[in-house]
Amino acid sequence: MATTGYFVQSFRSAYKSHGRILDTIRVTKKFTVRNLSSVKNEACYDIVVVGGGIVGMATARELKIRYPSFKMAVVEKEKELGVHQSGHNSGVIHAGIYYKPGSLKAKLCVEGLHLAYKFLDEKGIPYKKCGKLIVATNELEVSRLMDLYDRAQKNNCPDVKLIEGKDIKKHEPHCEGIKAIWSPHTGIVDWGLVTQEYGKDFQERGGAIHTSFPVDNFLEDSGASSDNEYPIRVIGNNNQSVRAKYVLTCGGLHADRLAEKCGCSKDPRIIPFRGEYLLLNPEKCNLINGNIYPVPDPRFPFLGVHFTPRMDGSVWLGPNAILAFKREGYRYRDIDFSDLFDALKYPGFQKLAVKYAVFGSGEIIRSAFISLQLKELRKYIPNISAKDIKRGPSGVRAQAVAADGTLVDDFVFDAGGKGLLSKRVLHCRNAPSPGATSSLSIAKMISDKMAKQMNL
């Protein structure tokens, strides 16, 4: 779905549900008045960014570089930056092979890769350019591989090559396959660490970071007695609040809820999908040099279980994709009934569940019986057995789903709602994978958008 199209659509649907928005605003005011009485000495900022994940931090930093005299702050609900998606991912620096040519995702990923390596070099952040193979194991996969190769060329992915079965072993001596794509510039890094470094850079440039600040509401101050220079109040649920001229929200797994608080449409909803990894026995980690990926099945939305070397020398296998019962729930026993019902009652999720019923059930079964995942993995590296794998960590993807059950695949921005909130607050409602790789180019795009929309 085109981003602009979505923007207009969400604005329209927010406008249509005028009554609901008024209700929201009434509730907001009541709540806020109660809180403001206990709020003193609010700090005032030109721009406040809500959400200290990699997208929020990269954008805060970019805005501070562009507007050095602006007073800026990031507010983050956790004690540290980058602890959710940005600190729970595969750690891959992607080269942009998979994405539809011409899409924002493709453009931002390739740009982001170059910007990321430059930043990592400048800051001395450790990374490994270990490369990546996408391996076909049968003729059907070869034809899909050729389509991917064509995409890689159209997307200007750097130095990507098609190689024959015998050459696979030059890169990965233990890997089997009949044809592959070799991407030498794919790398690995700790994206959580990169998020912290963006934060450090932002602070060194004069930006403020308020952690343990869970934003609960936004209020516009339009009364005659109000301080109209900083008319947006960002209210935390621990009696904290700050004032701002402009606000950007980058809430990851809570992006939709932050937007709704400003009167935006409910859609697209964030549906959390847990991605579980297996760990390879340390004695077998020497079987893997770089990233080894299957050829994705275009009927399904995720890339498939892959071998990912980590910066600490371990090798992760995964991730799969199963519904998480809590938005930031990393273990299968983490359940939040309000998050769960929110997902289950959403018509978009119900349609999605029907559409991917077979794939989804397969993922649940493979999650329960890791021997089934082993069977898949052994197609590429036959020399691993059941005793070489065990359950490992997991991450949770913020998957935006539209009301018609479509998985929203590109970036979504929203400034719906009414009044000042619609003019001065921008919401980044979907920053899908490879959002970490693309973070510096996403930051540029969002900064351009804010400059235009808010006349910065």
Residues that bind ligand FAD (CB under 6 A): 50-56, 75-78, 82-86, 88-92, 94, 214-215, 250-254, 258, 275, 319, 395-397, 431-437
Indicate the residue among 88 and 245 with the shorter CB distance to ligand FAD.
88
**360 vs 146: CA distance, rounded Å:** 27
Indicate the residue among 179 and 427 with the shorter CB distance to ligand FAD.
427
Smallest gap, in angstroms, from Cβ of residue 424 to ligand FAD? 18
* Cβ-contact 264, 20 below 8 angstroms: no
* Cβ-contact 155, 105 below 8 angstroms: no
Indicate the residue among 179 and 254 with the shorter CB distance to ligand FAD.
254
**444 vs 452: CA distance, rounded Å:** 12
Indicate the residue among 309 and 416 with the shorter CB distance to ligand FAD.
309
Q: What is the DSSP string of 163-201?
A: EEHHHHHHH-TT---SEEEEETT-EEE-HHHHHHHHHHH
* Cβ-contact 397, 343 below 8 angstroms: no
**96 vs 110: CA distance, rounded Å:** 5
**77 vs 238: CA distance, rounded Å:** 10
CA distances from 251 to 49, 232, 405, 429, 431 (A): 10, 18, 22, 8, 10
Indicate the residue among 309 and 432 with the shorter CB distance to ligand FAD.
432
Smallest gap, in angstroms, from Cβ of residue 140 to ligand FAD? 26
Smallest gap, in angstroms, from Cβ of residue 383 to ligand FAD? 25
Indicate the residue among 10 and 90 with the shorter CB distance to ligand FAD.
90
Q: Kindly state the tokens that stand for 134.
A: 């996408």
Smallest gap, in angstroms, from Cβ of residue 224 to ligand FAD? 30
CB neighbourhood size of 13 (10 A): 15
192 φ/ψ angles, rounded to the nearest 5 degrees: -65, -45
Angle of helix 439-454 relative to helix 104-123, nearest 10 degrees, comes to 110
Q: Kindly state the tokens that stand for 20.
A: 């609901």
Smallest gap, in angstroms, from Cβ of residue 397 to ligand FAD? 4
* Cβ-contact 427, 259 below 8 angstroms: yes
Indicate the residue among 89 and 265 with the shorter CB distance to ligand FAD.
89
Rg from Cα positions in the chain:
22
Which residue's Cβ has the minimum distance to ligand FAD? 53
Indicate the residue among 287 and 436 with the shorter CB distance to ligand FAD.
436
Indicate the residue among 64 and 84 with the shorter CB distance to ligand FAD.
84
Indicate the residue among 12 and 100 with the shorter CB distance to ligand FAD.
100
Angle of helix 347-355 relative to helix 337-344, nearest 10 degrees, comes to 70
Smallest gap, in angstroms, from Cβ of residue 210 to ligand FAD? 9
Smallest gap, in angstroms, from Cβ of residue 94 to ligand FAD? 5
Smallest gap, in angstroms, from Cβ of residue 318 to ligand FAD? 8
Smallest gap, in angstroms, from Cβ of residue 256 to ligand FAD? 10
Smallest gap, in angstroms, from Cβ of residue 385 to ligand FAD? 25
Cis peptide before 319 (omega within 30 of 0): yes
